[in-house]
Chain A
Amino acid sequence: MNRRAFVGSAAALVSAVSVGWSQEQAPGRGGQQARGGGDAGRLYNPNVVQQRPRSTDADNDEYIKNIEKQMRCTCGCNLDIYTCRTTDFTCTTSPALHREVLALHEAGLSAEEILEDFMDRYGDDILMAPKPEGFNLAGYLVPGALITLVGVALTWSLYRRQAVLSTAGAGGGSGGGGGSEGIEATPDELERLQVAIRESDR
């Protein structure tokens, strides 16, 4: 290997290592491509913008997001932790709760265990929807049960009325059939009706 070849190989090796190193150093940049990434100049007035930590891979982890979407931010915003930390950039509570979720996840806890841990520390109302147990079951079941009950009662009542009307009809009552005896219309209107029905039937 001559000197030029050696320098070239060494440069390539250094370049490859440095690229690999920089990719390792920036795992949290969401897989973005470094395409002409320049220096970050200082803002003219940094005080008018929220300061944020660099995002990490964990911030985009669907598993973490799903856990956070099941828990409420305790800042009083009514949003879940994930939505709050990615929306209300003035909130300091949701980023802290996010870090707690990450710490528990890194400690090897499952999603269910993380939720249980949060419930132990913050109370049951940390969940965005109550656990379907005990009185909370009423929360889930009452609307559906009531609608079903009314629906069944309505159906039963309609069938019953229908049966009564059918019986009355069979016994010589006027009943509601397909006849035209109930129609209050002029012969001209009836004629136009027949035309419209024939047109519609084609």
Chain B
Amino acid sequence: MTLLGHFALWAGWLIALWAGVLAFSGKWQRRPELRASLTGAVYAVFGCMVVASLALWYGLVTHDFNIEYVASYTSRTLPEYFVFSAFWAGQKGSLLLWVVVLSLFAAMAQFMTSRRYADLLPWVAGVTMIVAFFFITVMLFSANPFERLAFTPPDGRGLNPQLQNLGMMIHPPMLYLGYISVTIPFAFAIAALMSGKLDAGWIRAIRKWTLLSWLFLSAGVVLGMWWAYVELGWGGYWAWDPVENASILPWLTMTAFLHSVMIQEKRGMLKRWNLMLIIGTFLLTIFGTFITRSGVIASVHSFTQSSVGYYFLAFLVLTGVLSFTLLYTRWDGLKADVELESMVSREAAFLFNNLILVGIAFSVLWGTLFPILSELVQGTKVTVGPPFFNKVNVPLGLALLALTGIGPLIAWRKASINNLKRQFFLPVASGLVVVAVLVVLGMRDLYPLMAIGLAGFVAGTVVQEFYRGSRARHRIHGESHPVAVLRLIGRNRRRYGGYIVHVGILLLFVAFAGYSFRVDKEATLLPGESVDVVSPFGHTYTLTHLGVSQYEYLNRFVSQATVEIEKDGVPIGRLSSEKRQHINSLREFEFQPSTEVGIRYTLQEDLYIVYAGSVEGTEEAVYRFTINPLVVWVWIGGVVLIVGGIITMWPGGYGPVRERRPVQAGYEAELVGSRT
């Protein structure tokens, strides 16, 4: 099977090369059979990559430890579902995952794109196949997942315990899906530039793809935070690690694009900027891959240092230079249809929203690269950790939150004073009420106060938008308010789905603010001993150590320490944390003992316990207890964000495709009943 996998890689490599050369030679423009060959090549590469993937999975499930990758990431005792996910646990397998998903998306783009944009598709095929060609090249010449060992070990080294987690089964593929799907909008952007079809056609063709990418990126980032929280054991979910930063960068620029593209659709403005954002987003996905795999920046998440980093760096530079050169050659054809009329307009608000989003992306990128820059300039490497990123990004994040509330309140083209007064009164009042309540309750910390106050303002904006819309439907159609709200969302999914996304964002900010009040305490307890921890909400948790039980389960020895919890004197249950020592089939230890945390989730605060270790091999246990306020709202906010995104991209809800037409200044009103 490895021979077959190897052959499939080579076949895919040759076909992708053929497709790339053919597409950019332009020969297909006069010969229909070559055009058909291009489409066929995309499907063929997908087929080859499926065969290669099945070959690797076959090697994994049959424990073919003669394959270096299988021996490195699995063992005979590894549970089957983790054998399945070991496919993307290492560098080589994840590259194969990347290219199989890319070829799937490339095939879907060819198959599903409306025939209205057929002229763009050969170029799209060319770009996607060049990217696939690059990834297969990296595998064939630097990181081949089918590489064989000179001997066959009796058992493999097993999977890193931190990767033996449900979150790790879902989070990396989700993030990869986000990263990889960005290639399709990028391919359409290049196709538009190559073909000279610079109208809004390519924007419409990629609408679903951009939302899909954004959704996958969002889900990947949130799942990554959840994995870090439940698995890494430090009690937090975001540490500004270079790899975490790399995951958020394309999300930020893609979010900026999703806003600015509305201006192009409605007003025919920002054409150049939108192209720059899509190209930049694609380059950031390659940059993220580069820093994860090159070892150029130290990170706990990185794959082993290898030569693939050079490939990615070369590809990054080459793609950047070629893409922006191409954009430059089409610069004059990308003039805006109209000028921006007023500083006080939704277009202007979106521009500033873009400025902040791209500004945050820049500051994250700057901080991530600053150690390298410092070494070049000063000769000494500095560490740029959470204190730096928090100092630089928290004010920018608050500005972004404010704009999340301001944008929907301002009319397109030009807002009147009356319009502003009417629109802003309720949201501003709700924000001020929230701040007043918090101050009365004793909160004095500036940033959390501002974050929660601004969240109140954004909530006011969203509630007002839903209320006005449903009230209009209620009066015109006589619908009850719940029905009116549902129909409002159904009739204009993009707009109201977007508002639901804003609710997700405000929930995330509230949760981030709560995290700054976390409390932790280390304690050493004999069985029966207890310790008190007072939470930021004033609750006293009494935690009594019950003892440590040890047993063997699946591929590990488990040492489980359990505490009994009383909250304000009332027993509320037990919580356990584990130490896991993984073993292989020869009963040899794999890796160091890992920690499984115990978490009691509530809407108000999480109780997070970690069994740190044993005192002199006895049941006397060292614990770390952490109380994390409002953390659960990160996950709720993430779910709301994704639900909003799904509503936004759900088919239908737009009515028949219409040409852009000018909007009236001072108002934006729904033409009720015009989209039936």
Contacts and interface: CB of A to CB of B under 8 A. Distances in A.
Interface residues on A, range: 35 or more
Given A128-B383, A128-B386, A154-B355, A183 B348 contact: no
Interface stretch (B8-16, B318-326, B657-665): B657-665
A70 interface: yes
B620 A45 contact: no
B664 A139 contact: no
A61 B579 CA distance: 26
B386 to A, nearest CB: 7
B383 A127 contact: yes
A30 B388 contact: no
A80 B557 CA distance: 30
Given A40-B526, A59-B522, A143-B359, A52 B622 contact: yes
A28 B524 contact: yes
Contacts of B62: none
Task: Name which of B340, B352, B384, B522 has the most chain A CB atoms within 10 A of its CB.
Answer: B522
B550 A139 contact: no
Interface in B385-440: 385-388, 391-392, 395-396, 413-414, 416, 422
A69 B383 CA distance: 13
A48 to B, nearest CB: 4
Interface in B567-591: 579, 581, 589
Given A42-B617, A178-B665, A128 B593 contact: no
B476 interface: yes
Contacts of B362: 143, 146-147
Contacts of B387: 69-70, 128-129
Contact of A40 (B471, B593, B615): B615
Contact of A72 (B348, B356, B385, B524): B385
Q: Which 9 A-B pairs have the closest CB atoms?
A: A46-B617, A143-B363, A52-B613, A32-B531, A128-B385, A48-B581, A40-B620, A50-B613, A40-B618
Interface stretch (A4-12, A107-115, A189-197): A189-197
Nearest to B623: A55
B339 interface: yes
A103 interface: no
B388 A140 contact: yes
Interface string A26-68: 0011111111111111111111111111110001100000000
19 contacts: A31-B531, A32-B525, A33-B532, A36-B529, A40-B618, A42-B618, A49-B559, A49-B593, A50-B612, A50-B614, A80-B386, A86-B522, A87-B233, A129-B386, A130-B374, A143-B367, A150-B355, A158-B340, A178-B664
B351 A154 contact: yes
A52 B396 CA distance: 42
A45 B587 CA distance: 14
A72 B613 CA distance: 23
A60 B525 contact: no
A83 B234 contact: yes
A99 interface: no
Contacts of A178: 414, 416, 664-666
